[in-house]
Structure 1
Amino acid sequence: MPLSVKRPARWRALLPWIIGVLPVLCGLVVMYWQTGRELHNSSQATSAQVVAHVERILDNLSGATEALLPLSGQPCADIQVAMRGEVTRNAFVRSTNLVTGNTLYCNSLFGDYDEPVDPADYTDGRLWLMDGNSVTPGHPLLVYRASQADRAAIATVDGVHLLTALRLIGPDEQLQLQVGDHWMGKDGVVHPGAPSVAASAAVLQPSARYPFSVHSGYAAGKQAERMREHYPALLSLLLLLGGAAGGACRWQLRRASSSRAELDRALEADEFLPYFQPVVRKGDYRWAGAEVLMRWNHPREGLVRPDLFIPYAEHSGQIVAMTRALMLHTAQGLAPYAALLEDGFHISVNITADHCRDLRLLDDCRTFLQHFPPGRVVLTLELTERKLIEATPMTLELFEKLHELGVMIALDDFGTGQSSLNYLRQFKVDYLKIDQSFVAMIGGDALSQHILDSIIELSTKLGLGIVAEGVETETQRDYLAGHGVDFQQGYLFARPMPLDDFLQALAGSTRLPPDARPEIMRG
């Protein structure tokens, strides 16, 4: 089989495993990262909800204390009804208290009272998370204090309301409410110090209005648990894809792989042949030129598909010598029949970055053109993007001399390569070739059709010629013609053909309308 390579047995045995494991590992990493993001977003949303709920509770307490603060200092008997009224009207207020001179002298429950108050117990002078009082020891309370000079009003909320927020809003998360140096979790116990950071998706959400914060997160192992629970089908698919990739790699290693020696042998044996696919002009759809495609006529296997040997030839650098031989073969085959070609007949050849590293390509083009009468053939070089062409001084000089020679430059498969727009900016380009994937979507995928229209519009604004590849239906032909595409190429007009068939078609059918094409031009 062509392109088979004798590689070390250990390397050949390990590569399918590597290829099979790699997508699984990459998929697991992406899934783990995505699951972590989902947990973090969920943790952040939950903590924000808890903060908002506690703020609503504190709004009740704040409203009650602001209403009672002007009454501080008056006799307790005169204002006790008003204090109890605030407890009744506000759902979250458990009790209200009034303070003068750091002494709590009036309580909504007991009336006259005498208990010292230390403002330092309150975070920011306003909030205190208590583990209970003399009435309910060991029962959490959240106390809010509003003060003015030496007077203050205090309101408390039962810790049950806080536990409800922590348990119901975030049943799966680890949630803690922190006020100053004290915090409370879902167990309802007030602890001193700061809570421990969650093992996964830890979030700290402070309140913008009151001096408290909410800690949220998940226990260790939650990400793996979430992956197993939510993505079993995707995990199975990853394993399936990994197995398929490993199997395909193993099959490919056994089936075909290129070697430098075999390509050198084929080059010396002149086994690389030109095939011609005509390009038609808009309007009369007559042949305006042809793209030269490389085919390998292997002595045992017959014609070898280009995708089986051209990528390797580009990787090994042998593509330059192979293209030079192809251009010479093309020139020698067409030159005796130059009379069949109209003046300005375009012949296009694919080149890669390897061709642009010295000026030998200029000599190859000059040699090609010397086979034909002046003006009979226009040589077009199509830049492929499997390797990036860098705008070095050598490359820029080469392109400038090619244009002086009359050689045109086209961007092949425009719209699919990441460097196409860079090429337009860096190099002087004459033609854009629209990739067949966009042409195939005419009448179907709206997005691809918009991209196609944008490419056509771009070429018009830049004054560039445009060639559409892969035209297979009359609908595609008419759409492209209606949008001013200069040239079209595809199975609708002709398939790639060897030199003899191409010359035969040139001799007898180039002037016929599309519905009278000879058999060689039919699908």
Structure 2
Amino acid sequence: MPLSVKRPARWSWRALLPWVVGALPLVCGAAVMNWQAQRELRESSQATTEQVVQHIEQILDSLSASARSLFPLVGKPCAEVEVALRSQVTRNAFVRSTNLFERNTLYCNSLFGEFDEPVNAADYTEGRLWLMDGNSVTPGHPLLVYRASEGARGAITTVDGDHLLTVLRMLGRDEDLQIQVGNNWMGKDGVVRHGTPPTAATAAVLQASARYPFSVHGGYGAHKQAELMRDHYPALLSLLLLLGVVAGSVVRWQIRRASSPRSELDRALEADEFLPYFQPVVRKGDYRWAGAEVLMRWNHPREGLVRPDLFIPYAEHSGQIVAMTRALMLHTAQGLAPYAALLEDGFHIGINITADHCRDLRLLDDCRTFLQHFEPGRVKLTLELTERKLIEATPVTLELFEKLHEMGVMIALDDFGTGQSSLNYLRQFNVDYLKIDQSFVAMIGGDALSQHILDSIIELSTKLGLGIVAEGVETQTQRDYLEQRQVDFQQGFLFARPMPLEEFLRALAAQSSRLPQPARPEIMRG
């Protein structure tokens, strides 16, 4: 079968498909592993930030308890309470200093004793917490200050930032962690900054304390996810890569084996190698040519003319027959239009269509384009339905046939009597002609049963008011038998074999020259 002519290599979906299929397991597997890695990192980040929040809350619990225990001392002279303030510092590991304030003025400090410094509640988030970048004693060293108050009086306790850094560094060794209090935040570097901390590149989470006005930002760097996948999934990635190679190789083998005929038909369509051949149809009585069935032939560059039974069934199976028929109709119209004067008015041109054509309303455009090549009434376009595929009576099909009839296009059932759905088609579709299959015509004068079937088909068409065409007429006996039964049209080797366009036009010109009418235009002579 000549469906293997090589053409220049080019990228197409057939060339790309093995690569796509081969990459699919790897891509899908990587997507799943990526999702799993993200999930693991997020769960880990969430757990770490929760632990950091809990530890800082424990530190603040110590500060809060220390500050509350100092409340009864507020208002007393600093000299009387100074020892008590220092006692809290020595007994509580997290407390760095304690302070008392009254009328929003800090008047007693555990380190310096009597003091005089204003206390601004606005410096504290919710009036309770202040993340400071050091003080006069330790400038540039982070401090977390807790303020407990009743109106303009209360106690202040502080914790050294090193305790916070220990929590951040110990609990989140591989994570990006920051503690935020109001508009100030601190990361693992121990520097207090103003504003909003940067969002982690991977698995970013934010965990706020339910008891104190601070939050912890967590997450990982941009490369953490890739490191996790590389460390945890190397064997799985290797397996997915192997599956991808196997799948791509199988698909490539299947495409080369199964789709090469399709590719060859596409190549032939692009190269304009499908040509119309015409087999005349004669009318009863004078047996003059009343029309012709257009048959597709493939003029292969190496094999010559290819028999239709070698490529038509495959084209119908692959769906390429629609494009091929469109090209055939255009060839036919362009070839006949310059010599339309050779055609009698109402000359029938038959084109075979299949179920694929009946699912698309674009067939209307194809028929309209065909008829526009001729003056009105010169050509009668007939679409011959074949039964190699079942034609379903869908709304689209019914609408298509209705609009074809409105356009003046006729419908014929090809090879009537041999398919399983011929009678259903008569019931479901509005057809104009029946074409008797040549297998019944061949039995004329021989098989009595086949003759009875033939007579029944002829009688049926008469009762339904349908035209009838007999195919495969090869002998005068067959011709006369069909003539006696008033068969409208006959077609077969007795009258003419399928012929290319130039030969068909010469025969039309010869037939026209025998008629007593004005001279017809000349056509090329072979």
TM-score by length of 1: 0.49
Bigger Cα Rg: 2
TM-score by length of 2: 0.49
